[in-house]
Amino acid sequence: MKVMVVGGGGREHAIIRKLKENSSIEAIYALPGNGGIAADATCVSIAATDLDAIVDFAKANAIDYAVVAPDDPLVLGCVDRLNAVGIPCFGPEAKAAIIEGSKAFSKDLMKKYGIPTAAYEIFTELDAAIAYLKTAPIPTVVKADGLALGKGVIIAQSREEAIEAVTDMMANAKFGKSGSTVVIEEFLTGPEVSVLAFTDGNVVKPMVSSMDHKRAGDNDTGLNTGGMGTIAPNPYYTNEIAQECMEKIFLPTIRAMKAEDRAFKGCLYFGLMLTPNGPKVIEYNCRFGDPETQVVLPLMESDLLTVMQATTNGTLAETEVKFADQHACCVITASAGYPESYQKGFEITMSDEACAHTYVAGAKLQDGKLLTSGGRVTGTTAVADSLEEAVREAYRLADGVQFEKAYRRSDIGQRGLAALK
Ligand code: AMP
Ligand code: GLY
């Protein structure tokens, strides 16, 4: 079987390594992949958003199954285009990917179907947004409607800051078209949990829960990033809460999407906040999270390709989705300066042991050398019987990944360990 994975970050590397456990796969192509992924798949230099080139490549190479991992090709309709030429895919069609592609859509969906989320208002006119903010409770949360590389969310601590945020989005087009509509919502508090779930449109099977560490600095200080590390399972996510989420959030969401004729197939990511008033949805993503995938898939015992195909074929009910009763920790090594400006082009060296536990996110191969080419460069994951051991081991292994100006948070997993005590 020939499989193609669209995307080229740490998440895609984790997906490819896991897929490789299936011996029926004879070739894996990554579009575009990266210098580190090249050790595990054939990288093809086609951008993840170049849908014409992706379809041409898939046809020319008789691809049997495609995994579309990032949000932008999904929202652009990559799965629709591949399905149209007869190639089965893992991932939602565009009409279902809108659950991430438009926050206004997802908020209205939750309101219509009674799914718990922060109270909100949607604005398409700047004047109306500013008028509303003059009396809105502070802090307040301003979100650009569309995809904004994870940067379209502003937690405003003052009215002035909130007004500046909506003005930037709506009048100054800070996020392009993504910000012409804004959602202004209630500020919620509580621990955050990421739950990725497989779904075939009817049945939903959650994966092990996880915790991201989004801020750049230790003790959750500094700027928001794509994620500086993860642990799984998330200690705040008890069996009782999991059951409540299944009944009040996961199943109602899958049913709502089906009722709207937007049946969702693939991986639906629930970004949850465990508020004093129960779990609420902070965001939906139409794809695997990154770096959540880098702790979730190493704990997966079932065959990934089999489960993915079950979401495509509508046979998830009969397919086992099993996770090890263990703990995982992933430590991201980034380029100093990330998420703002940083230098690129430094050679990366890894011990063999570190390499076997490391997913590469931002690197390219040049003259046989692996060079840094992004903000987040690698994710190193350890699996162990306790969280404490997984954290210790992930840091020990990450020390085997070296390059100039490498930066890691030193406290990944500490909040989780404190919660266990
Ligand atoms: P998002 O891009 O939607 O994941 O938002 C980024 C981060 O902003 C989330 O992980 C939360 O930490 C925070 N956030 C988003 N919405 C809210 C909210 N309504 N209340 C408090 N924090 C929020
Ligand atoms: N780690 C957050 C995300 O993938 O959106």
Q: Within this chain, do residues 174 and 135 fall inside the same structural domain, yes or no?
A: yes
Which regions in the chain score pLDDT beneath 70? none
pLDDT of residue 201: 98
Q: Indicate if ligand 2 lies below 6 Å from the C-beta of 416.
A: no
β-sheet bridge partners, residue 285: 269
Q: Within this chain, do residues 174 and 197 fall inside the same structural domain, yes or no?
A: no
Q: Write out residues with Cβ below 6 Å of ligand 1.
A: 118, 141, 150, 153, 155, 185-188, 192, 214, 271, 282-283
Whether 213 is covered by a domain: the verdict is yes
For ligand 1, atom 8, the nearest C-alpha belongs to: 153
> Separation of 61 CA from ligand 2 center, angstroms?
31
- Residue 148: phi, psi to the nearest 5? -145, 40
Give the number of the atom of ligand 1 that is nearest the alpha carbon of residue 187: 20
Q: Within this chain, do residues 70 and 165 fall inside the same structural domain, yes or no?
A: no
Task: Decide if 224 contacts 215 (C-beta within 8 A).
Answer: yes
Instruction: Report the alpha-carbon distance of residue 399 to residue 394 in Å, rounded.
Output: 9
* CATH number of the domain enclosing 130: 3.30.1490.20
Domain count, the chain: 4
Q: Within this chain, do residues 288 and 314 fall inside the same structural domain, yes or no?
A: yes
> Separation of 45 CA from ligand 1 center, angstroms?
34
* CATH number of the domain enclosing 65: 3.40.50.20
Whether 54 is covered by a domain: the verdict is yes
Whether 107 is covered by a domain: the verdict is no
Whether 278 is covered by a domain: the verdict is yes
**Domain extent for 332:** 327-420
Ligand nearest to the CA of 292: 2
Q: Within this chain, do residues 260 and 295 fall inside the same structural domain, yes or no?
A: yes
Q: Within this chain, do residues 215 and 309 fall inside the same structural domain, yes or no?
A: yes
> Separation of 178 CA from ligand 1 center, angstroms?
17
pLDDT of residue 172: 87
Task: Decide if 6 contacts 31 (C-beta within 8 A).
Answer: yes
> Separation of 142 CA from ligand 1 center, angstroms?
9
For ligand 1, atom 14, the nearest C-alpha belongs to: 282
Q: Within this chain, do residues 176 and 267 fall inside the same structural domain, yes or no?
A: no
pLDDT of residue 60: 98
Pick from 155, 196, 228 the residue to mutate for probing ligand 1's pocket: most ligand atoms within 8 Å of its CB: 155
Pick from 71, 185, 273, 275 the residue to mutate for probing ligand 1's pocket: most ligand atoms within 8 Å of its CB: 273
Q: Within this chain, do residues 307 and 360 fall inside the same structural domain, yes or no?
A: no
Whether 263 is covered by a domain: the verdict is yes
Give the number of the atom of ligand 2 that is nearest the alpha carbon of residue 287: 4
Q: Within this chain, do residues 257 and 354 fall inside the same structural domain, yes or no?
A: no
β-sheet bridge partners, residue 121: 184
209's CB contacts (< 8 A; 6+ apart) are: 193, 194, 195, 232, 233, 234, 237, 242
- Residue 294: phi, psi to the nearest 5? -75, -10
Task: Decide if 30 contacts 70 (C-beta within 8 A).
Answer: no
The torsion of the CA quartet 245, 112, 93, 208, rounded to 10 degrees, works out to -10
For ligand 2, atom 5, the nearest C-alpha belongs to: 289
Give the number of the atom of ligand 2 that is nearest the alpha carbon of residue 285: 5
Q: Within this chain, do residues 172 and 207 fall inside the same structural domain, yes or no?
A: no
Q: Within this chain, do residues 146 and 214 fall inside the same structural domain, yes or no?
A: no
Q: Within this chain, do residues 238 and 341 fall inside the same structural domain, yes or no?
A: no
Domain boundary among 158, 180, 202: 180
* CATH number of the domain enclosing 283: 3.30.470.20
pTM of the full structure: 0.96
pLDDT of residue 173: 84
Domain boundary among 318, 338, 365: 318
Q: Indicate if ligand 2 lies below 6 Å from the C-beta of 285.
A: yes
For ligand 1, atom 9, the nearest C-alpha belongs to: 282
Give the number of the atom of ligand 2 that is nearest the alpha carbon of residue 214: 1
* CATH number of the domain enclosing 416: 3.90.600.10
- C-alpha pair distances (Å), 83 with each of 58, 113, 363: 11, 29, 31
Ligand nearest to the CA of 188: 1
Whether 108 is covered by a domain: the verdict is no
